Amino acid sequence: MRLLVLACLALFLLAQQSLAQETRVIVPDHPNGIPVNGCFRANQNLFGPYRLTFCLDRRGTYQVRGGGVSCDGRLTWRVSGRDIRVDLQRTSCGRGRAWEAASMECRQVGGVLGAIAGRLLDIPVLSSLRCTYHPTVAGVGPRTFTATRQ
């Protein structure tokens, strides 16, 4: 029994150490912040038939699908307080098409969701973000959308 308790304690400490290295966004009801890392999908099309999916992890990526286009690009991101700032790099979509370089600002929407690992350790996880996409194309204004964790 004692060995089992020690093993559980060791696993808990290892999990806490790995969680301490995650990027977190500050929210009032969770003073230590909430882990941001994960993939999110826009709940509506961004422009015309184009839908955006993006992953906030060490090697940030995004995908744009729709209208016969399939674009896979890179992004960089950073957290500042409650805000998540994302910079999308321009990427080729094939057949002479490209997705523009752009930026986004995102913030937590509503409550938090306990993922399976989060439930085990009682750690909240962002379930959705409210984002404003800022295009670089002249004459096209910003678009605001909600993105849900995948």
**Tell me, what CATH number does 123's domain have?**
2.40.128
* Whether 24 contacts 78, CB under 8 Å: no
* Cα–Cα dist 82/8, whole Å: 33
Amino acid at 82: R
Q: How much is the pLDDT for 84?
A: 94
Interacting residues of 91 by C-beta distance below 8 A, sequence separation 6+: 71, 72, 73, 74, 98, 99
Residues 6+ apart with CB under 8 A from 43: 145, 146, 147, 148
Q: Is residue 123 part of a domain?
A: yes
> 12 lies in a domain?
no
Residue 47 lies inside a defined structural domain of this protein: yes
Q: What is the pLDDT of residues 3-48, one digit of tens each?
A: 443 344 444 444 444 444 576 655 554 556 677 789 999 999 999 9
Enclosing domain of residue 84 = 24-149
In a domain, 17, yes or no: no
Domain count, the chain: 1
Report yes or no on 93 lying in a domain.
Answer: yes
Q: What is the pLDDT of residue 126?
A: 75
